[in-house]
Chain A
C-alpha cells in the first residue's frame, strides 16, 4: 500500500477483494431467501415475521459466534462454548429455582465462571503451549461434567425478573394513514435479538477500530511476526479467550431466556453450530481473516435452512444437516479458491 492510497473512496473500500468472502455469504443468503420467497411466498415466507424469527431462534448462536469469530481469527478454536453456555443456564436455573438466589447473583457467578475459564484456557494455550483444540476440549468436558453434577434433570426457571426479561418485546410497527399499527402477521424483537445485534456491533468495533482488534488480525496472520514486531501476543490471546468466555455466558443467558429452563445436556454440539456459522460467514479457520458482518450473515444463512424445511413441511429435519454440510463444503471450496488466487496474484 502506498501512502496515496490512504484516502480511499467508499467505493474502492467496498470493492476491496478482502471482503469477497463476506459478499459470497450475503449473496448466497439472498439467493436462498429469493428461492424461499418464490417457492413458499404464498405460505408467508417473505413476511417480516419469518425474517425476524431467524434472529429470535438463533440469537444465542449468534452471540457466541461473535466471540468465536475472534478466536478463529487468532488462529485458535474454542470447543467449550456450548458447555459453558449450558452451565450458565444451569447456574441460572439451579440458583433461582432451587437455591432461591437473585438472578443477577447467578449471572454474576456465571460471568466469573465463564470469563475465568476462558482466561485460564487462554493462559494454558499460550504459556503452556498446549494445542487450543485439546485445552478447550478439556474445558468443554469440565463444564459439561459440572452441569451434570449440579443436576441431571431439566430445571424450569420461574422468577419475576427472568419472566419480565424473556417476555419483553418491541412490536414492529408501520405507518398506516398517519397511525402506527402493528405489522401483520405480528412480528417483534426481544431482548435476545438486541443483545445479538449489540454484540455484533461491539465485535465490529473491537476488530476494526481498536489496537486490540488489529493485534488479533496480526496474530492470526503470523504469530511469529506479531511477536517479533513487539505486539503483546500473550495478553491478546488470553484476552480473546476471556472475551469468548463472556460471549458464551451471554449466549447461555440468551438461551435460558429462550427456553426458560436449564438442562445439563442442552446445546450439545452447539460449539460446532457456532463454528459453522463463523466459517460460512467467511472466517478462515487458519486465522487472520474474518468479519463480524460475515458472521452475522453466516448465522442467518445457517438458520434459514431449517426455516425452509419447516415451510416445506414434507422433509425430514435431517435434510437440514445435510444442507448445512453442503454449504460448508461450498464455502470451503470458495475460500480455497480465493486463497489460491490471492497467492497467485502475489
Chain B
C-alpha cells in the first residue's frame, strides 16, 4: 500500500521521467556499443577517457548556462541572450590575449594583457549585460523574453565590432587549460561545472534565495507584499545568468583557442531552456530543480553522442534531439501525468478494497 503510493508520486515527478529517459538512451548506446561504459586512463595527458566522460565534458557549457536559466525560468521568464553573451565573452578574451593584432604575430604562447584581465573583463562585461537584462525586466517591467531578445539580436554584433569582424587564434597555455586541461584526472570543464553547480545549489538552497526566486516566480506582487524585494531578486538572477554565460564562453573559446562570433554559443539559449524544461522546471515559473536541469543537459548531450554512433551527419542530430525531446515533453505534459496519477489512484483504491 505504502509502496504503491511512493511509485505513483515518483511517476508524477518530472525529474523521474528525465532520469528514466537518460538511462534508456544510455542503455541503447550500451546495446549498440558494448564498450560504451568503459573508461580508460591516458597517462600522457593525465586524464580519464571514455564516452561517459566525454558526454559530461561536452555538456559543460550548457549545464553551466542552464544553472542560471533554471533560476530565470523559475522566475517565470526566459533569457534568450545567453548564446550571444558566450560569443561576447570569447571575443573580449581573445581581444585581450591578442591586442597586437594590427601587426601580424603567429598565435604563440603569450598574452598581451595580464591574464587577470583576459579572464576578468569578459566575466564582468557579461555580468553587466545580464544586469542590463535584469534592469529592463525588474525596473522597466518588460517581459523577460522581449527584454533579452534585444541582446540576443545585437550581442553578436557587439562581439564582431569588438574584434573588427576578425577571428583571432592564440596558443597561450594558461588559457588552454580552461577548456582542455585536467584536474584530478578529470577534464577541466567538468571541474568548473561541478564548482558552478555546487555554488549555485548552495546559494539557492542553503540561503533563502531559492525560496525567494520561487516565490517571485509564482506571484511577484504577493512576494513584494510579504517583504521580498522582487526587483533585487530579478536583478541578481539575470546578472548571475550573464556571469555564467561568460564562464561558458571562456570554456568554449578555450576549447577552440579562438573567438568565433558567428558560431560560438549558437542555439545555446535553446539547448539551455530545453535542459531546464526536460529537467522538470515549469516554464510558468515557481518550483525549480537544479538536479533535474543537470540531468536535462546530460540528456541533450547523450542524444548527440548517440546519434554520432549511428554515423549520422552532425547537423541532423537536431531531428533526433527533437524526437526524443518530444517524447519526454509529452510524457511530462499535464494531461499525461494526470492520466498516470488517476490510474495509480484507481489501483491504490482497488488494492485498498481488496485488503479490506
Binding site for B on A (CB under 8 A): 77, 79, 124, 127-131, 133-135, 137-142, 144-149, 152, 264-265, 272, 275-276, 279, 285-286, 316, 318-322, 324-326, 328-329, 332-333, 336, 340
Q: How far is the CB of A336 from chain B (nearest CB, A)?
A: 6
Chain B residues touching A, majority SS: helix
- Identity of the chain A residue whose Cβ is nearest the Cβ of B314 in the assembled complex: A148
CB contacts (< 8 Å) of B156 on chain A: these are: 318, 321
One digit per residue, 1 when the CB lies within 8 angstroms of any chain A CB and 0 when it does not, for chain B 309-341 equals 000110111111111011001100111100000
Report how many residues on chain B are interfacial, defined by Cβ distance under 8 Å.
Answer: 48
Is B20 an interface residue when CB atoms closer than 8 A count as contact? no
Whether B157 pairs with A130 at a CB distance below 8 angstroms is no
Q: Chain A's nearest CB lies how many Å from the CB of B25?
A: 16
Whether the Cβ atoms of B335 and A129 lie closer than 8 Å is: yes
B154 within 8 A of A: yes
Binds A, one of B103-111, B238-246, B269-277: B269-277
Q: Which of B140, B152, B318, B323 makes the CB contact (< 8 A) with A144?
A: B318
Contact residues in A for B78 (Cβ distance below 8 Å)? 133
The reply to whether the CB of B117 lies closer than 8 angstroms to some CB of chain A is no
Q: A129-B333, A140-B270 are in contact. List 20 more A-B contacts (CB 8 A).
A: A79-B270, A127-B335, A130-B329, A130-B330, A131-B283, A131-B284, A137-B270, A145-B315, A149-B319, A264-B315, A265-B315, A276-B149, A279-B146, A320-B157, A321-B154, A322-B161, A325-B150, A325-B157, A332-B147, A336-B142
Q: List 9 A-B contacts (CB under 8 A).
A: A77-B145, A128-B334, A128-B335, A129-B333, A135-B329, A145-B320, A148-B313, A152-B313, A320-B157
Q: How far is the CA of A106 from the CA of B77 in the complex (A)?
A: 40
Point out the residue from A128, A139, A265 that lies within 8 Å of B333, measured CB to CB.
Answer: A128
Instruction: Answer whether residue B191 sits at the interface, using C-beta atoms and an 8 A cutoff.
Output: no
Q: Which 9 A-B pairs have the closest CB atoms?
A: A145-B319, A325-B154, A321-B157, A148-B315, A145-B318, A142-B322, A141-B322, A318-B160, A128-B333
Task: State whether the Cβ of B153 lies closer than 8 Å to any Cβ in chain A.
Answer: yes
A336 touches B140 (CB 8 A): yes
Q: Which residue from B141, B151, B312, B325 sits with its C-beta under 8 Å from A336? A: B141
State A342–B71 Cα separation when bound (angstroms). 32
Q: How far is the CA of A336 from the CA of B139 in the complex (A)?
A: 11
Determine if B158 is an interface residue (Cβ-Cβ < 8 Å): yes
In the bound complex, how far is the Cα of B312 from the Cα of A62, in angstroms? 35
**Chain B residues closer than 8 Å to A329, beta-carbon distance:** 150
B232 CB within 8 Å of chain A: no
State how many angstroms separate the Cβ of B113 from the closest Cβ of chain A.
Answer: 23
Cβ contacts B154-173/A at 8 Å (1 or 0 each): 11111011001100000000
| B143 CB within 8 Å of chain A | yes
What separation, in Å, do the CA atoms of A319 and B154 have in the docked complex?
9
Assuming the A-B contacts A322-B154, A322-B161, A336-B140, are A145 and B317 also in contact, with contact meaning beta carbons closer than 8 angstroms in the complex? yes
Contact flag A326-B315 (CB < 8 Å), given A128-B334, A137-B274: no
Q: Interface centre among A129, A272, A279, A332, by most B CB within 10 Å?
A: A332
Give the chain A neighbours of B141 by CB distance below 8 A.
336, 340
The chain B residue sitting closest to A326, CB to CB, is B154
Q: Tell me the bound Cα distance from A333 to B158 in angstroms.
A: 21
Complex Cα distance, B273 from A114, in Å, reads: 24
Contact B157 A285 (CB under 8 A): no
